[in-house]
Amino acid sequence: MKKPDGKVVLLGDMNVGKTSLLHRYMERRFQETVSTVGGAFYLKQWGPYNISIWDTAVLGLWLLSLCGVTVLSLPGREQFHGLGSMYCRGAAAVILTYDVNSLQSLTELEERFLALTDSASADCIFAIVGNKVDLSDDSALPPDESRPEKSVASCGSKVRKQVCAEDAIALYKKILKYKMLDEKDVPAAEKMCFETSAKTGYKVDYLFETVFEMVVPIIVRQKAEGPPQTVDITDYKPAKRTKSGCCA
């Protein structure tokens, strides 16, 4: 396996569609239900660089299974939440994903997932992504990227989405405040807030390709400073079991 030059991590609550977004972009298909770890880790060639894309929750369950722990299939829930910060370590970009039809899923990003990004790269970029727009009243969206690019769609009177563009932008600004970043030094909120549909493919390519383009300068800086802190799952060796069947 090629060594990744940079890392992109997806975070978000259960059932917001993180794994489906990965499948749509990398495999050009959509699955209603994802119960395996097959889509948890991808390596994407982007120009001269290899970028790894991580679906944190599913990988967490997989590592626990290697330790001999029997768990229920809870893709996306981050039941073993402490693993999340390990996956974010050295990340050049974090894609915080919510369901546009669930305000709670947006709230969870700030309350449960933002702290996990403390181990990311100091110059990590953040994208706020509202998935499942196909389930809202604004569902007459094309299955491709043919329409003029718009990072976000505002909430009009005919849209029943629980999360408006303004809500996502407000969260992005809270992240900058949490990270003590000046808005002048980072990409504009309107450029980093997206709405997508993993089911139809709407804006999925645009999302990932925008993030990759912004990750490249970070990779260049990280290479100049030294090897990034990453977690190589290919070298993972399970620890010996205790009597309870968990990791020692």
- Residue 100's alpha-carbon distances to 66, 110, 205, in angstroms, are 34, 15, 18
State the DSSP H helix or E strand holding residue 20, giving kind and residue range, or none if neither: helix 18-27
Average of per-residue pLDDT across 224-229: 67
What's the distance, CA 89 to chain centroid?
Answer: 14
Kindly report the pTM of this predicted structure. 0.77
**Is 159 or 102 the better-scoring residue by pLDDT?**
102
Please give the span between the terminal C-alpha atoms of the chain, in angstroms, as a whole number.
28
Q: CA 153, CA 99: separation in Å to the nearest integer? A: 14
Q: How far apart are CA 89 and CA 228, in angstroms?
A: 9
Q: Which helix (H) or strand (E) holds 54?
A: strand 49-55
- Per-residue pLDDT of 186-221, as tens digits, reads 999 999 999 999 999 999 999 999 999 999 999 998
What per-residue confidence (pLDDT) applies to 79?
Answer: 46
Cβ atoms within 10 Å of 120's Cβ, excluding its own? 23
More confident residue, 71 or 98: 98
Q: Whose CA is closest to 151, among 93, 97, 202?
A: 202
Name the DSSP letter for residue 203: T
- Relative to beta strand 49-55, strand 93-99 is unpaired
pLDDT of 161 reads 84
Measure the CA–CA gap between 132 and 137, rounded to whole angstroms. Answer: 11
Q: How far is CA 205 from the centre of its chain?
A: 14
pLDDT at 85 (0 to 100): 75
Q: Which pair of tokens denotes residue 139?
A: 């569902």
Q: Which range has the worst mean pLDDT, 2-6, 40-44, 216-220, 238-242?
A: 238-242
Regarding beta strands 49-55 and 41-46, do their DSSP bridges make them parallel or antiparallel, or are they unpaired? antiparallel
